[in-house]
Structure 1
Amino acid sequence: MSGITPPVARKQAHPLKHHGIERIDDYHWLRDDERQSPEVLAHLEAENAYHKACFAPFEPLQQTLFQELIGRVDKDESSVPYRWHQHWYYKRYQGEQEYPLFGRKRELEGEEQLLLDANERAQGKEFYSMGGLSVSPDETLLAISEDTLSRRLYRISIKRLDTGEWLSDSLSDTDGEIVWAKDNQHIFYIAKDPQTLLGNRVYCHRLGDPQANDRLVYQEADDSFYLSIGKSLDESRILLTHESTLTSEVSILDANQPEACFKPLLARETGHEYSVAKRGEEYYILTNWQAVNFRLMKATESSFADKRSWQEIIPADESRRLEDLLVLKDYLVVQYRQQGLSQIRILPLNGAPEYELDFDDAAYVVGLDVNPTQDSHHLRIYYASPSTPESIYLVDLTQASPRRLLKQERVLGGFDSQHYQTERLFIDARDGAKVPVTLVYRKDKFRQDGSNPLYQYGYGAYGYTIEPDFDSAILSLLDRGVVYAVAHVRGGEMLGRPWYDAGRLMQKQNSFNDFIDVTLALVELGYCARDKVVASGGSAGGLLMGAVINQAPQHYLAVAAHVPFVDIVTTMLDESLPLTTNEYDEWGNPNQAEAYRYMLSYSPYDNISRQAYPHLLVTTGLHDSQVQYFEPAKWVAKLREYKQDEHLLLFHIDMEAGHGGKSGRYRHFEDTAEEYAFFFGLLGLA
């Protein structure tokens, strides 16, 4: 921008040599693990000042958009109450407050007991996030976990619900999960390593004891595994799940015996993934054993360790990926995905005919809602589509009756779903693969003549599927004539496990090709104008954006990369950083020459070249625990050195936030409004 000079980071050669290849990282000095270096902080503040100056023309639009976005929010929204033990539990919002209130009632029409006001807990804090909230089995105690730094290191606190008194117990550096033993006196939690941020130790805490006295129940020796902890639906077992990218293991502990130790149901086997749901003495097992897209099997606890004794319930099907399971007393509820669309199938255990729940939208998301009681003949599900706000339904399983709508998200500001159209396409990629695409647009603003702007979103990693969900924020795009598209590229799992496998490790380039090919096809099909395409992605989706703009910058007017993972080779060589060793099965282990060379071939930071780039908005958080701030900081510095254009390159560092951006119900819309204002200003839609 004329008259405003961008920050120029000094260069200090830092040689990196592996497998006979030398890289020179001139901006390595921007890494400061303590986040206290005056020079580094001064550079980041200079980037923020430049961003503020250049963004000034967009700021009025950002403020307008922010008010527009929060204006659609139902300020007094509340969740649908669910019955657990002797109470109905729910959360609700109140007016302009940023955080929820949690309450319960003995009877639905009875008097509320306020369990927690998160606004009081967040008062005076720049950042606040609740990790977990767990009521003791006798419903007399409340345990919560909170993060006030945005590093995903949670402190657990415990409150008496009869007096409102907070106990002296304070458990720091946890992953936020909380599980009660049956005696109401012990809780289990996972402790994180403060350096790598890996949750690798499980402790049992007795109320009233100092944390230093907590018993170490389990320590994970393999840094490639994540731990998570929960409870069986009948509350008789505490479940410890060990997961790496391709292997999982489940260990159990009797919830009545908190002094006992976890024992594995089936010892981990490389490449075998499984999860369990308990019913009586039996466990139902979702497993990929001899089943790429998983199958459902059954075993008793005593025979579990012998896979040959497992009984098959639902066989493997190459066209159908089994994804989730709910085991009730008299019913199995199975969620699966076929041709990219989720389905829910009901299997009565009394021999009655199986049946499925039907859904009509071209693209939608459906899943299991809160179902806290195993002895139930009712099922709660959630449903949404890009043009249908989230809806909670109740299904009476005894009658296979039509589902009953309990609540639909209320969208203020005159929203009418009839104004919007959802489409689902399959685009031919360059190698013949058919890439699913979810499209939504406003009917009266759309012309399939190549005139509309396009906003394209993608992720494509970890087997994570970007669902065709409802998001009230995108109405601000659609109402201005922008077509919104999600490219479900390889690396996600929209089309089952093979779709994921085809976008990781030595096939990662497919993710980038898919995204680019979707853009080109949507232009050719007339859904958008060739010179009005903007794109966005965050985290691993930021890696997608970084690779795409290196490989095909000419196809994009502007790109937003949020907390982008762009220095993949250097990060994956540094085992002191969070997530590194856990992700060798996702990206590859660069200590191996073949993997190193392949990762280097697409690494966004290493492949910046002297060419023209789109307008770029890059965001990060100084305290990001997932993608460290210095990755995008180095990337932006190098882009400034190499790019051959006069386009905007804006870098916004939130000096308080982490990977998820701003906290709070309304404040997080500031980030969305910033991105939209950037795009709209460049598209001439201001």
Structure 2
Amino acid sequence: MATAPDTKKQPHKLVMHGHERVDNYYWLRDDSKQSPEVIAHLNAENAHCQQVLAHTEALQECLFQEMVARQVKERQSVPFKYGAYFYWHEYIGDAEYPIYWRDASAQKQRDLQILNANVRAKGHAYYDLAPIEVSEDGTYAAIAEDTNGDRLYQVSVKHIKDDNFLNDKLVDTSGELVWCNTGRSFYYVKMHQQTLLPYQVYRHRLGTTQDEDELLYEETDQRFWTQIAKSKDKASIVIYHGTKESSGVSLLSADDESASVVTLLPKEENHLCWLELVGDRAFILTNWQAKNFKVVTTSISTIADKSTWHEVVGHREDALLENFEVFNRHLVFSQRVKGLPQFIVKSLESGQELQLEFNDSAFSAYLQDNLDLAAKRVRINYTSMTTPESVLEFELSSGEPTLLQQHQVAGEFNAQDYCCEHIEVGARDGQQVPVTLVYRKDKFSLSENPILIDGYGAYGFNVDADFSYSRLSLLDRGVVYAFCHVRGSAMLGRHWYEQGKMLNKQNTFNDFVDATQAIVALGYGAADKVLATGGSAGGLLIGATLNQAPELYLACAVHVPFVDVLSTMLDESLPLTCGEYDEWGNPNDKTYYDYILSYSPYDQIKRQAYPHLLVTSGLYDSQVQYFEPAKWVAKLREYKTDSNSLLFKCDMEVGHGGQSGRFNRYREVALEYAFYLDVLARAC
């Protein structure tokens, strides 16, 4: 095995609450990302990773070609209507990015090209396009682009019919844009230069420079972020002020180019809400006196008086209400029962409810492109671990489904060859942890298969059973895949989330360890062939788990991992700090300091054996700074007592989301899978 980089130790003392920590690798932090010494170290790590995995290059290429070959290269989206036109996009040939079109009908005639993202992405190693926002009259398209992965979007404006760009250029935006109904100005959110949180709402008039833009709202509380949207009736610009536990709402008239911000719902601690406005009515998804949320309605003029709120969808202890869509005569809401999604159509006139039916027992689905209040059907994007992404429409009156589109898998694929299961396993405190598994039937043997266990467990974020073109490469080689819906997600309701955050965070790690052991005991995988993976907050999950139960895992891949939790949460200049206090706690309080210290992966590294590890990051990651995994890897090398591989790959051109492009992103997946398969081959 190649010799790993020798990372120098340069002690840096960190003192808080009378407790001293010494960080020998603090020097790896360089906010400018230009330090020759730091860049040289990252390049050395990349060279080491490449050298160690050089013998897998043929396997990586094989895996990559498999993943690409499953994609149908010529692919079009289902058109949706906005205003007088239909909009859709398509991928052509080997193109990494789509072309966006506008038509007078839904027949996809390619009447007018709005944007070719491949042309815009040319010359950039990374490219992300936020949703294109078209003015109400269809004249202009506002285009927000991120070309290095730091989630700072530059906005340009295109005259669609004339096919030329205006001189208007806006920088450092969140990518969210909302047009004024006149079509001569739009609103956007600017990011804070230091915290990189969205905090200012501006109005931009076409033909002016950004320094002439009018500041309409500025968030001074660094815990809050700011978002904007247009109401479904197009009468209002809605400004959301939110933390993970608190929210507020303000309004601007969408018709008035000189409108001022009006407070609709004052910011309120421990109240989360999202709303839709239709005429003089407001429909509100709220957790006020409803831990798992409910939907209420009231008039806009009395909305601040909760005594005027009338219940439309009631609170349930056994169901988490997640989202809704309003139509003239119906309300469609999505909820989660025993970890599985449900969609209900409710008549606003009779109150009658109708549950929509889907084919799979475990699936992922979300409301999509329902822009018309008068629509007679609701559109839902649907997929499962054995069903490629599909677009369905259901009759609101009867629930009758229509399949508008289902993506195809090129080559040999039969969904019946695979089995997906949704089970529950016991944790040490008696709680039942949901687990979703998928495997290839003819490759499965009880207690013999390698198994890859995945997890996240933070922010109340739920990961449903979706289809993966790349995952098939593991399943077809006999690897079982399992996702553990540990506490910290909201899979079983808001209480499931609350039991995995703040001073309950250890439950997240316990659940993952206990689920791993239970899955193996049930025979879904061999005890000596257990793999694990997680990214971002899921990287924290894996990092903490490996300190506490490293013997359970043969190899792990950890992506953009949030592993230096204590130091980050003590530094208010970083994006993952003030806005994260509601998730992890504020370590300026000794109670939270001590608790975070007890599990922080970087601080709790021990002199013990660790599994084989592949760690990835991006130099321009604005969410989890590159130096967290860089320091973690260096300290692991210092402390670990085994001879297992420890590889670190820092992409020098991207951010938190990794590589972009529909095919190019599979390079990273192929590297990860080759790492697993190589370790498994050497272990046998």
On the 8 A contact 2:355/2:399 being kept in 1, the answer is no
* Alpha-carbon displacement from aligned partner over 1:350-402 (angstroms, at most 9, x marks no partner): 3163211022422111221211111111111122111111111111223x152
Determine the C-alpha separation between the residues in 2 that align with 1:154 and 1:313: 38
Query: Counterpart of 1:484?
Result: 481
Query: Counterpart of 2:276?
Result: 277
Match runs of 1:369-448 below 5 Å? 369-398=368-397, 400-448=398-446
Does the residue aligned with 1:684 lie in a helix, a strand or coil?
helix
Query: Counterpart of 2:644?
Result: 647
Gaps of at least 5 residues in structure 1 are none
Determine the C-alpha separation between the residues in 2 that align with 1:623 and 1:352: 50
**Residues 1:162 and 2:161 are matched in the alignment:** yes
**Residues 1:664 and 2:664 are matched in the alignment:** no
Query: Counterpart of 1:128?
Result: 127
Deviation at 1:579, TM superposition (A): 2.5
Aligned AA (2:506): Q
Aligned AA (1:546): G
Query: Counterpart of 1:365?
Result: 364
On the 8 A contact 1:8/1:640 being kept in 2, the answer is no
33, 49, 56: which is aligned to 2:31?
33
Query: Counterpart of 1:582?
Result: 579
On the 8 A contact 2:356/2:399 being kept in 1, the answer is no
* Alpha-carbon displacement from aligned partner over 1:309-360 (angstroms, at most 9, x marks no partner): 1111222110011110100111111111111111111111231632110224
Does the residue aligned with 1:559 lie in a helix, a strand or coil?
strand
Aligned AA (2:182): D
**Residues 1:493 and 2:490 are matched in the alignment:** yes
Match runs of 1:113-192 below 5 Å? 113-192=112-191
Deviation at 1:229, TM superposition (A): 0.7
On the 8 A contact 1:132/1:146 being kept in 2, the answer is no
Change (3 A) 1:213 1:53: same
* Alpha-carbon displacement from aligned partner over 1:63-86 (angstroms, at most 9, x marks no partner): 110001111111111111111111
Gaps of at least 5 residues in structure 2 are none
On the 8 A contact 1:158/1:166 being kept in 2, the answer is yes
Match runs of 1:574-613 below 5 Å? 574-613=571-610
Q: Mean alpha-carbon deviation: is it higher for 356-365 or for 663-672?
A: 356-365
Does the residue aligned with 1:58 lie in a helix, a strand or coil?
helix
On the 8 A contact 1:155/1:170 being kept in 2, the answer is yes
CA RMSD of aligned residues (A): 1.1
Aligned AA (2:406): Q
* Alpha-carbon displacement from aligned partner over 1:610-654 (angstroms, at most 9, x marks no partner): 100000000000111100000000000000100001100000010
Query: Counterpart of 1:23?
Result: 21
On the 8 A contact 1:198/1:579 being kept in 2, the answer is no
Aligned AA (1:649): L
Query: Counterpart of 1:61?
Result: 59
Aligned AA (1:680): L
Determine the C-alpha separation between the residues in 1 that align with 2:448 and 2:243: 45
Determine the C-alpha separation between the residues in 2 that align with 1:309 and 1:87: 39
Deviation at 1:111, TM superposition (A): 4.4
Deviation at 1:280, TM superposition (A): 2.0
- The alignment of Structure 1 onto Structure 2 pairs a total of residues equal to 682
Q: Mean alpha-carbon deviation: is it higher for 406-415 or for 582-591?
A: 406-415
Query: Counterpart of 1:464?
Result: 461
Aligned AA (1:417): A
Determine the C-alpha separation between the residues in 2 that align with 1:149 and 1:681: 31
Determine the C-alpha separation between the residues in 1 that align with 2:516 and 2:132: 42
On the 8 A contact 2:101/2:110 being kept in 1, the answer is no
Does the residue aligned with 1:646 lie in a helix, a strand or coil?
coil
On the 8 A contact 1:136/1:142 being kept in 2, the answer is yes
Determine the C-alpha separation between the residues in 2 that align with 1:176 and 1:368: 21
* Alpha-carbon displacement from aligned partner over 1:192-212 (angstroms, at most 9, x marks no partner): 122211111110000001100
Match runs of 1:534-549 below 5 Å? 534-549=531-546
**Residues 1:323 and 2:337 are matched in the alignment:** no
On the 8 A contact 1:330/1:377 being kept in 2, the answer is no
**Residues 1:528 and 2:525 are matched in the alignment:** yes
Deviation at 1:266, TM superposition (A): 1.4
Aligned AA (1:338): V
> Which structure 1 residue ranges, 4+ long, deviate > 6 Å from structure 2?
none
Does the residue aligned with 1:570 lie in a helix, a strand or coil?
helix
Determine the C-alpha separation between the residues in 1 that align with 2:334 and 2:232: 17
- TM-score normalised by the chain length of structure 2: 0.98
Determine the C-alpha separation between the residues in 2 that align with 1:471 and 1:187: 37
Determine the C-alpha separation between the residues in 1 that align with 2:252 and 2:334: 27
Deviation at 1:262, TM superposition (A): 1.9
* Alpha-carbon displacement from aligned partner over 1:134-169 (angstroms, at most 9, x marks no partner): 000000111100011211110000000111110000
* Alpha-carbon displacement from aligned partner over 1:245-289 (angstroms, at most 9, x marks no partner): 101111111101131122222112110111111222111111111
Match runs of 1:41-56 below 5 Å? 41-56=39-54
* Alpha-carbon displacement from aligned partner over 1:112-141 (angstroms, at most 9, x marks no partner): 311100000111111111123100000011
Does the residue aligned with 2:301 lie in a helix, a strand or coil?
coil
Task: Give identity over the alignment, percent.
Answer: 50
Deviation at 1:588, TM superposition (A): 0.6
On the 8 A contact 1:78/1:93 being kept in 2, the answer is yes
Does the residue aligned with 2:151 lie in a helix, a strand or coil?
coil
**Residues 1:676 and 2:668 are matched in the alignment:** no
- TM-score normalised by the chain length of structure 1: 0.98
Q: Mean alpha-carbon deviation: is it higher for 126-135 or for 552-561?
A: 126-135
On the 8 A contact 1:323/1:337 being kept in 2, the answer is yes
Does the residue aligned with 2:271 lie in a helix, a strand or coil?
coil
Query: Counterpart of 1:213?
Result: 212
Determine the C-alpha separation between the residues in 1 that align with 2:249 and 2:31: 34
Aligned AA (1:433): Q
